[in-house]
Structure 1
Amino acid sequence: MPTPDLPVERLADVSAAHLSPEDRALLDLYIETEGANGLSCLVGPYGWLVYASSELRAAVHASPGLAAILAAARAQGCAYVLFDRDGLPIDGVQTYDF
């Protein structure tokens, strides 16, 4: 069987501590409404995987830190941002208790 040529996307990996309680609620809303509302993501026990290039209208409800991280990810060619419990914090972006 030949090896398939898979599409590859870039991913940014940052601390979940950059998500405010309101940001987490916005991400959880997407899961709770099965994609009808909120910001496009997947959730797991250790954080969120957010699609950085979609739902820009929902991103206007995000904290300035989340909006800046998503914009930086898009500018650096990343399709996704992993907000990981063990991810590294980004200098200059506010953190919250996680």
Structure 2
Amino acid sequence: MAKNKILASLFRAICDDQRITTIHFGLFTAIALCWERNGFQYPFNISRRELMAICKICSTRTYHKCIKQLHEFEYINYFPSYHPVFGSTIYWHKNFEGKSKKLFIMDFNF
């Protein structure tokens, strides 16, 4: 599946979800931007510091709460590394089911 179609499906899924706030959306957008900056590698690593700067989150508590919720809401699979150099690993969750019950199945075999 083309990368632009994957991004469109990701954003359609998150826009239909009533649980998502502007902070979630900003963090999700920052994650998508990091994916693009990493050459659309799958999986990809992220830096908390970089994401917080991109989406203008000042509190690490807010960052951790929102990234944990994106994981719980099954938009991402988040694996923290606790290593300052390597960063945490992100996988896009393959199934997205929003409040509108639309199902987005992602094919990540590029």
**Which one has a larger percent helix, Structure 1 or Structure 2?**
2
Q: TM-score, normalised by structure 2?
A: 0.29
Q: Which has the higher strand share?
A: 1
